[in-house]
Homo-oligomer: A and B are copies of this chain.
Amino acid sequence: MAATARGREEALPALAEVFREHGYEGASLFLISQATGLGKGSLYHFFPGGKAEMAAAVVAEIDAWFERHVFAALRDTRRPREDIAAMLEAVDQYFGTGRRVCLVGLFALGDARDAFTREVHAYFARWVGALADALVRSGNGRAAATALAEETVGAIQGAIVLTRALDDPGIFGRALQRLRSRLGLERR
């Protein structure tokens, strides 16, 4: 897949892809070495903590990416409605219309649950929290906003499961469309 990565940072995308495709246990150092183009020596040079550190680095980068491109936009106070719409668009792109697994969701289901409980919790708590805040700012009551935020993030995670199970990206698209309608983002 990847030409030889030149450093720790460059290796992260390929690394993330391996964990997404095979899960934590299934991502062997052989697969990781192939995907990154780095030998074991180089991998342990960049990640002295081994596989656990590699997975932690991937989760941290995913977390940072979502913070920057998804959660942050929700914290703009002026146009919450547009920000929420932009969040859904970013999600659609990132998850490849449901074909690409959410690694944090996969870890939440147990693949590496004990090792990353805190990171998994923080990721979803910030996602739901930022969305709920934006929904309050766009006119919803606190309780309704929290319920809508939980429903939205849950629907996205569930749509990924269903899309992959039935091999039909239309499922993810329709789920996002329903969410747009329910969140009051319909074209006006």
Question: How far apart are the CA atoms of A110 and B161 in the complex, in Å?
Answer: 10
Determine, out of A78-86, A132-140, A146-154, the stretch whose residues face the partner at the interface.
Answer: A146-154
Copies of this chain present = 2
A96-137 with Cβ < 8 A to chain B: 101, 104-106, 108-111, 113, 120-121, 123-125, 128
Range class of the A interface residue count: 35 or more
Which residues of chain B are within 8 angstroms of A165 by Cβ–Cβ distance? Answer: 104-105, 108, 120-121, 123-124
A91 CB within 8 Å of chain B:
no
Which residues of A are in contact with B by a Cβ distance under 8 Å? 20-26, 101, 104-106, 108-111, 113, 120-121, 123-125, 128, 147, 150-151, 153-162, 164-167, 171, 174-175, 178
